[in-house]
Every structure is written in structure tokens, then in C-alpha cells.
Amino acid sequence: MRTTRALLAAAAAAALMLAACTTDEPSDTAAPDETAAASEDPGAGGEDEETTDGEFFVRADYDRQLAQRDIAPEGDPATPWLQAIEPEYVDTAQYAQDGNTLCFSNASVSNPWRVTGWITMQQQVEVLQQQGLIGEFRVSDAADDDNKQISDIQAFIDAGDCNAIIISPSTTATLTPAVEAACASGVPVIVFDRGVNSDCMVTFIHPIGGYAYGADGAEFLVENLEPGSTVLPLRILPGVDVLENRWAAAQEIFADSELEILGDEFTGGDGAEIKNLVTQALQRGEVDGIWMDAGDGAVAAVEAFEDTGNDYPVMVGEDELSFLRKWQETGMTAVAPVYSNFQWRTPILAATMIWAGEQVPVEWVLPQDEITEDDRDEFLDRNADMPSLHYAKFGGEDLPGFPAAWQDR
């Protein structure tokens, strides 16, 4: 009995030691431990021989997205949801029709970003319904379940009376066949937000992308921190391509800098977890900058500095109002990368354009500009009455339901 006990104690000790030994693994190259299911990048056009430095890093896409940030989009800057970066238009005359039943398969409304966008989309639909351009708007919500979304899409196809199908896919690879089936039914298909590995849809609408988002924050840290400063990256989850792209881009930029990167932590997006991790990192040593792959809980990270009596870090947040307000209140050095929430309006407008036989971009790349200290106050003024989990660049200020619709959610 004694020996078993000793054995168990030894096993526990060994487990600790083994785990401790693996810590010197460098985290400044593309992380090798991210072994989630393969997910090819939708925008890559399926070319396999591209330079891939890691499972979630395709250099050509990275370079393209970073370049797109500096290209002036076509269209009126007052309506960014109708702007497009280097659009290649496609003829839609074949889809011109009088029918106006619009069907939307939504991945989920499981985070504040999606909730905000979903409200904007509904408001846009209402306007067009009053104008008689859209008749019935049919929606199914898959609650982040791939299988549910596949059957949702199939149900739209089987019903046979959708005049256009909008799809916001929950995951890239799994939803591809379902989207292809929708295309094959002859109905115009519009995909937005996350992509699929197919080009069968009439238009794929998305902001510039995850690499640009990750790079915006990382570049800001490199510019605003002295060489040798420490940066703590906080990530939500491993293995989700939209988030992995952001991190891959940040790693790429950090690798060329003289910043010291303090591992990378997964937070699950939970404020308490974020606050714990930051507090503990501060107990271990100095933290000069925080990089986040999404701004949910950015305020909790900032509070960890306040509660432990440390100076504010250089902070990468997001255009969520709670963070923008905290930023204004504290005057810290920060940037808010934006994953353009106004993209939720675009697919609705695209559907009516397609029905009218107007040309739309094949790949509709929407602008994606971060909020800096210069325009922060302007966005806060515009959203003064909005709740804290609202996104500043939601792009619905001109819709008749503003502001009440976004206030009571």
C-alpha cells in the first residue's frame, strides 16, 4: 500500500515536471501545437502550392489582406457597407426576378458582435419591406451547430420558394457541401462573414479579414512600445480559423520586432478568466502591452492592471463600446481593431441588387479600418446612448429603427 501511494505521488510530480519542461517551446513561430481539424482558407482559391508557414497561415492571403488595408475602397464613404475593395463585378441578369422571398441561414447569435449585426440586418430588411423590395424574410438560426445549419439550408432548398438564400456559415469546411447544394438549386446564394471552400455563390461578402485584424493590433504595439517590452497575448480558443488568422498575423509581426511575447493564453472569452490570467502575469513580472484576438473582456484585462496598482498597458481591444468607453475614461494608449459589423447590412442589399439584375462584386471585400485615438470620440458620440456590449461600427445610424432597436435587445 505504501508503494502504491509513493507511486501516485511520483506520478503527480512527474506530470508536473514533464509539463514544466515543455514550456521553453518558442511561441514566436507559427504555433506547432495547433492541430485542430484542417481548415483551408476560403479566399485562397484552392491553390495548394501556396507558401503555408503553418496550418493557419497562408502567406499570400496575409500579404493580400495587409495590402488591401491601404487600398481606397470604391463607393461612397458615407455608406461603407456598400463600398468594395478592388471589386470584380459579375453579371446577375440571369437571377433578375419579381419574386422577393428572402431566406437567411444564420450560424448563431451567440456573441454580442453577432447580436448587434443581426439587429442591423433586421432593421435593413424592414426598410426594404416597406419599400416593397422584400416580401417575406425567413430566418433559421443554427445556434453554432453545423448539422443544424446543414439541415436548415436543405430545408430552404426543399421549400423551393426562396428567391435568394443568404448564408452566414458556422464553419468553413463542413458547410461547403451545403452551400454548394444551395447553389445547385438555381437560387442566387449570398455568403457573408466566414467563407466556404467554393466559389459557387453569386457573391461572398466579408471585411478584409483576420490577418488584417491581427496585424492592426500587433503593428500598433510594435510602434508604441520600446524594444524589449513585454506583450501578453490573450486568445479565446485555438483551432477556429477566423481567430487563428488574427493570431498568425500578430505572430508574424511580433517575430520581426524586438518585443518579448509572454506565451499565449486561452481565455474562452470569459472576463473572470481574462482578469485572472492578467493578474497572474503581473505577479510574474511586468506586462507592457496586451494583444487580444477579440475585444470581448478587454475591460476585464484593463481592470486587472487597475486592481493590482500597475500602470496601464498599451492595449489592443475592439470596437465594442465597453472598451472604447474605458479607453476614453482612462486615456491609455490603445487601438481598437475592427471586424466591420456593418457587413450584416450588405447581404440584404446585395439580394435586392441581384433581383434587380444589377451587377455585384464576386468577392465583396468591405473596408475594415481600426478605430484610433483620433476618431474614437467621434464614434463614442455617435453611439452615446448605446449599451456597452454594442459595436461602434455597426453602421445602422441612418436606419429608421435607430436608436431604439439597438438599445432594447
Partner 1 sequence: MTVTTRQPAQGPAPQRSAGSRAGELLARVFGGGSGTVFALLIVVFAAIFIVNPGFAEPPSLMAFLKQAAPLMILAIGQYFVIVSGEFDLSVGSLVGAQVVIAAALIDGEEGRTVPVILLMLGFGILVGLVNGLITTLLKVQSFITTLGMMLVLYGAIRLWTGGAPTGALSEAFRQPGRGGIDMSVVRQLPWALMILIGIVIIAVAVMRSSYGRTLIATGDNDRAAGFSGVRVWRVRTLAFVMSSVAATVAAILIGGYAGVTAQVGQGLEFTAITAVVLGGAALGGGRGWVVAAMAGALTLEALFVLFNQLSMPSTIRPAVQGVIIIAAVAYAARERARPRHHQEVPSQQQSNEA
- C-alpha 361/C-alpha 147 separation (Å) is 30
In the list 263, 377, 384, 397, the residue contacting partner 1 (rule: CB under 8 A) is: 263
Do β-strands 57-58 and 189-192 pair in parallel, antiparallel, or remain unpaired? unpaired
Instruction: Note whether 264 binds partner 1 by CB under 8 A.
Output: yes
User: For the stretch 270-289, what's the b/e string if a residue is b when 16 or more beta carbons lie within 10 angstroms of its beta carbon?
Assistant: eeebbbebbbebbeeeebbb
Stretch of 73-81, 198-206, 355-363, 382-390 lying at the interface with partner 1 (CB under 8 A)? 382-390
In the list 147, 258, 266, 356, the residue contacting partner 1 (rule: CB under 8 A) is: 266
- Residue 39 Cβ vs partner 1, minimum distance, rounded to whole Å: 18
Do β-strands 334-335 and 314-316 pair in parallel, antiparallel, or remain unpaired? parallel
Binding letters toward partner 1, positions 129-168, x by CB under 8 A: ----------------------------------------
Instruction: Note whether 109 binds partner 1 by CB under 8 A.
Output: yes
- Residue 11 Cβ vs partner 1, minimum distance, rounded to whole Å: 5
**Cα 231 from chain centroid?**
22
Compute the C-alpha angle 258/259/264, nearest 5°.
140
Binding letters toward partner 1, positions 388-407, x by CB under 8 A: xx------------------
DSSP string, 228-280: T-EEEEEES-SS-HHHHHHHHHHHHHHHTS-PEE---EE-TT-HHHHHHHHHH
Nearer to partner 1, 315 or 353 (CB): 315
Instruction: Note whether 329 binds partner 1 by CB under 8 A.
Output: no
> How many of the chain's residues bind partner 1 (CB under 8 A)?
58
- Residue 340 Cβ vs partner 1, minimum distance, rounded to whole Å: 18
Instruction: Note whether 15 binds partner 1 by CB under 8 A.
Output: yes
In the list 307, 311, 375, 397, the residue contacting partner 1 (rule: CB under 8 A) is: 307
Rg of the chain over CA atoms, in angstroms? Answer: 23
Instruction: Note whether 19 binds partner 1 by CB under 8 A.
Output: yes
Instruction: Note whether 169 binds partner 1 by CB under 8 A.
Output: no
Nearer to partner 1, 229 or 279 (CB): 279
- C-alpha 351/C-alpha 95 separation (Å) is 10
Instruction: Note whether 11 binds partner 1 by CB under 8 A.
Output: yes
- Residue 346 Cβ vs partner 1, minimum distance, rounded to whole Å: 21
Instruction: Note whether 3 binds partner 1 by CB under 8 A.
Output: no
User: For the stretch 182-198, what's the b/e string if a residue is b when 16 or more beta carbons lie within 10 angstroms of its beta carbon?
Assistant: bbebebbbbbbbbbbbb
Instruction: Note whether 265 binds partner 1 by CB under 8 A.
Output: yes
User: For the stretch 100-131, what's the b/e string if a residue is b when 16 or more beta carbons lie within 10 angstroms of its beta carbon?
Assistant: bebbbbbbbbeebbbbbbbbbbbbbbbbbeee
Q: How far is CA 91 from CA 95, 176, 184, 203, 362, in A?
A: 9, 23, 18, 11, 9
Q: Which residues bind partner 1 (CB under 8 A)?
A: 1, 4-5, 8-9, 11-12, 15-16, 18-20, 22-23, 25, 33, 108-112, 114-115, 118, 238, 262-266, 268-277, 279-281, 283-284, 296-297, 299-300, 303, 307-309, 322, 387-389, 409
